[in-house]
Amino acid sequence: MITYITLHFLEVHKFLGDTNSLWIAGKFYQVGFNLAAFAHKILGAKTTLSISDRDILQQASNGLFEQNKLPDPTTVVDCSDAATQHSIVLFIGDVLKKAAAGSVTDLIKVIALIKDFINGLPDSTKTCLANNAELKTLGLKYGIDDSTDPSVIEKKVVSYVTFHYLEVHGWLGSLNTLWSSGKYYQTGFDAATYGHKVLGITAEVISNLR
């Protein structure tokens, strides 16, 4: 350990600074995850930790819920079986990669891709998610309940992307980098933050698109 610190001081110094920032920000899960990965690096073990698709989705969900000051969900991920979880993990990675490099038009098309993917999920998964109490509680944090028209949500997303493309482009690039680096908790946490900005857009702004 002393040898690694001596030979890689700048790297270790930056890592400790980043870890301190995460701790102060209350991102304790990510602190623990990053420390574990860095310990493997220092001690000469594999730096890439192998985790299941379920764990990936659980980490992302934890970030999403914790950003909203909610307990980590215990029932959401298990609405899908292992095969579906795998397809969701692959889809998220693929969509983030496409979105990070996309134009405004491309991002609008990504919305359609997401809708098609959700519609193609097994009926058992869709039913479970639609009736999931934890997701309903999360939805309320964004002003979404059982009476919310999905088209209203889509209009808000399209409006924000249209009027704030460069900002959204930066977000998606960051999320893609985090996901590709295995920082699933942080991906969920940051996505939750961006979600509040996007869904907070007013009806007046949306009307300007008509």
**Which pLDDT belongs to residue 46?**
46
Domain limits of the chain?
Answer: 1-50, 51-207
Say how far apart CA 32 and CA 25 lie, in whole Å. Answer: 13
**Residue of 182, 204, 209, 167 whose CA lies nearest to 46:** 182
Contacting residues for 188 by C-beta, under 8 A, at least 6 apart: 59, 60, 61, 62, 63, 64, 65, 67
**Which pLDDT belongs to residue 70?**
96
Please return the burial class of 73, using the count of CB atoms within 10 Å of its CB with bins 0-12, 13-18 and 19+: buried
Token code pair at residue 2: 């002393």
For tokens 């996505």, name the residue. Answer: 191
Give pLDDT tens digits along the chain (210 positions).
677 676 677 788 888 888 899 899 888 888 888 888 888 777 764 444 578 999 999 999 999 999 999 999 999 999 999 999 999 999 999 999 999 999 999 999 999 999 999 999 999 999 999 999 999 999 999 999 999 999 999 999 999 999 999 999 999 999 999 999 999 999 999 999 999 999 985 545 444 544
The amino acid that residue 34 corresponds to is N
